[in-house]
Structure 1
């Protein structure tokens, strides 16, 4: 009887230990995870291989395999790699479904795979499948939250999904809601900000890098609030000093916030090692930032980007920037050669590439307007104002340029907090451009709406948001209309 009881005890204990070992985010897995977020994917693969050999029943390495594919595809944006790697998704999910159902990682790990592939599918234009993957992840996380309400990693992914689903453009929300897609971007952002502050003090502190990664893109690409620049950069300081991702995020956030010199400084000091994944976007960002500053070597970085990059985005835009580089130097032969490349190379998936093709098919830009535009993009607002000093519509032959000079002056004065001058020039851009296919007039109306909203002059703001919405058949129409509708919504209209 004693032997039988002892046998049962040993059996139960062994089963419990085996079950627990199904999801063991141990020191090996944490090291692999951190290597992934440093963009040292080969190092991560080696650590994962060791963990699989040492603990073959641990399911966490399968989740980490998916992280590697996720970052590999984010960096390369290579369509062939995407088609090859997405075949692994179902096998990983099938494996994870057979693991310990009593672990908080059971549903969470499956949700992570769905979520990562949902984000990747969106990047590769597979929107319907992307939506269903994100929704599946959301359902799994909600179920997991009920079972394990204190499991903090759950909040990381649930917060991101809240942002993703809550940021669906206004003109798509009715369609999305019919499929059960709904989210609250503000709630999601608050969740991620809470985690950025609280995770480092917990046993899940290793997840902090991922939260910072999400927040940097959300603050920069979704909120577009330059007042948050210091806060966003402060987030990046918690990333490891040997992280290539840290350097990229610091350069990217600075570039997108018109801190051009800072962006260049960060991108130039990126850590150099063969252990890092090839990341061509560094050269793309550097080329653009150096072009904004009119550096003589801007072309070298853009050329290197085009040599290294085998993906689907920013090829047309990179060729256009090379064309503009030579145009500014009076080299018309090379300008026209690269304009031809804009027309023949790359895709028109991203808005930047669509705009690049449109500009390539248009008349060459006015050199002063081009200089001012690049200076503005780099945050050199006083220089841009000097470039356009004393100019108005009468100085330009083309209708396009007559509209743009007022729009560009409006943007410059707006950034210099000279509201009256900004509104005056924006209004001129609206008057002259509201019936054209250029985006200047609609974005000018949106910008005036933003100025009045900041002043809490709701009626005036609503008037200009509605003007922006009313303008049709122009560049960036969906984006501008969505932002205007969000403005009306914020003010309760």
Structure 2
């Protein structure tokens, strides 16, 4: 009944076909390039001549997802979310023997799952994932040779397979089954066999490895080549930039950021200013970084990274020994913006610690070393900490962090044997006062022993990494440790 009423409210909205016309194919790929205005013009032109094409509703939703995830526009989220049920109902008019019916419905639910999770609506976002999973599983049973189903089903199998053990019971009760290896295989089947969705599937594959499973050398090489193959693709420039930054290769990332396409055809993307600021902070170019953080906040209308950007402005001034002006940004970091993501949670926690006098000038070297290491400026980072020892600091937490910083630098310098000693020391010192550093040390020790094929030893460290409670890196460390354990067959 609800679906029928919705359809009555949308004239000529009966989907009777699925037709990947050349114009709509171009719109699909323009969306992936973040050329949203161009894509929407193509969609509307096609709608004027063939309004009964279900692919239209899919593309409308696909464009909205990209806009919402990048803009974080709360008003647009409220307006556009009202379209979900209408689009689902339109696609629901396809015949049951059409394999695209459940596939498109599942895709739209997944789009809104990601959007709702982004905007802090975790409960509704989770239910969207469950509904999408069930639609995809049903589609696979009904149409086992329909390859597009595997694109998103594979993604869900990997994500569910990465759920930490203490939450696994929820997935089992709901009938959700995860398997990381099977999920990756499904996604790669789409890459091999389905040209239309090949790039999206390949991007999904590499994203999962970049943020959870770990990138191979060949995957990293592929990430570098992509923007060269599609110089007009803003999304690929962004993805390559963030992936290289995550891999500690910020000098290389800067080149892709600098060559990112611009112009009226592309949606506004102020977050690129934030990325420039991050790299400059890592290099120790504090005055330049400060300007880019301010430019980001001036043009950004979203809610994530606001506290973090104020905190980074505090750091730029504080690390440049401008204590007088730094404090006002610590106050903003403690009070303005959301705390949905780990970066903003960390910003609030450290800003409050500074304002309460728990952070002192002695710790500046640790922050300088941290950001230089994150950016891959390893020789500079080592110069910062090389002459320091535990006697240079007063608290056990500071001593723990010093050991962790030295371990990370040495590990990235490909000196794992020496890094192990510092990780072990950080793990010992941080069990109670610094669980985040202790958990991170255990995770890295797991990776080192895994690379040495000492699987039993690696497994014990991954389990230990997950055992630490209530620290700022809990979600990301648990996901990575769980993924590693699953790969080990645990």
TM-score under structure 2 length normalisation: 0.89
Take 2:457 and 2:26, find their aligned partners in 1: how far apart are those partners?
Answer: 54
Take 1:239 and 1:187, find their aligned partners in 2: how far apart are those partners?
Answer: 29
Tell me how large the CA RMSD over aligned residues is: 2.3
| Structure 2 partner of 1:457 | 454
Asked whether the 8 Å contact 1:437–1:473 carries over to 2, the reply is no
Over 3 Å counting, the alpha-carbon distance change for 1:440 and 1:53 in structure 2 is same
| Structure 1 partner of 2:84 | 89
| Structure 1 partner of 2:397 | 400
| Structure 1 partner of 2:300 | 309
Report deviation, 1:473: 4.2
Greater shift after overlay, 370-379 or 455-464? 455-464
Select the structure with the greater relative contact order (CA < 8 A; seq sep ≥ 6).
2
User: 1:351 aligned to 342, 366, 385, which one?
Assistant: 342
Asked whether the 8 Å contact 2:15–2:94 carries over to 1, the reply is no
Asked whether the 8 Å contact 2:19–2:53 carries over to 1, the reply is yes
Asked whether the 8 Å contact 1:20–1:100 carries over to 2, the reply is no
User: 1:249 aligned to 219, 239, 248, which one?
Assistant: 239
Take 1:436 and 1:143, find their aligned partners in 2: how far apart are those partners?
Answer: 49
| Structure 1 partner of 2:253 | 263
Residues 10-67 of structure 1, C-alpha deviations (whole Å, 9 max, x = no match): xxxxxxxxx9962111112111111111111111111111111111222211111101
Report deviation, 1:482: 4.9
Alignment of 1:199-348 (within 5 A): 199=194, 205-225=195-215, 227=217, 229-233=219-223, 236-237=226-227, 240-295=230-285, 296-348=287-339
Take 2:321 and 2:236, find their aligned partners in 1: how far apart are those partners?
Answer: 38
Report deviation, 1:399: 3.3
Take 1:143 and 1:465, find their aligned partners in 2: how far apart are those partners?
Answer: 35
Q: How many residues were matched structurally? A: 470
SS at match of 2:117: helix
Asked whether the 8 Å contact 2:92–2:101 carries over to 1, the reply is yes
The unaligned stretches of length 5 or more in structure 1 are: 1-18, 200-204
Greater shift after overlay, 376-385 or 131-140? 131-140
| Structure 2 partner of 1:53 | 48
User: 2:74 aligned to 75, 79, 86, which one?
Assistant: 79
Alignment of 1:388-427 (within 5 A): 388-427=385-424
Over 3 Å counting, the alpha-carbon distance change for 1:113 and 1:288 in structure 2 is same
Greater shift after overlay, 477-486 or 304-313? 477-486
| Structure 2 partner of 1:26 | 21
Asked whether the 8 Å contact 2:43–2:56 carries over to 1, the reply is yes
Asked whether the 8 Å contact 1:229–1:253 carries over to 2, the reply is no
Asked whether the 8 Å contact 2:103–2:139 carries over to 1, the reply is yes
Asked whether the 8 Å contact 1:23–1:59 carries over to 2, the reply is yes
Report deviation, 1:355: 0.8
Match status 1:189 vs 2:184 = yes
TM-score under structure 1 length normalisation: 0.89
Alignment of 1:90-129 (within 5 A): 90-129=85-124
Report deviation, 1:251: 1.0
Greater shift after overlay, 98-107 or 343-352? 98-107
Take 2:280 and 2:413, find their aligned partners in 1: how far apart are those partners?
Answer: 22
Report deviation, 1:77: 1.8
The unaligned stretches of length 5 or more in structure 2 are: 1-13, 354-358
Point out the structure with max Rg over C-alpha. Answer: 1
Report deviation, 1:106: 1.9
| Structure 1 partner of 2:427 | 430
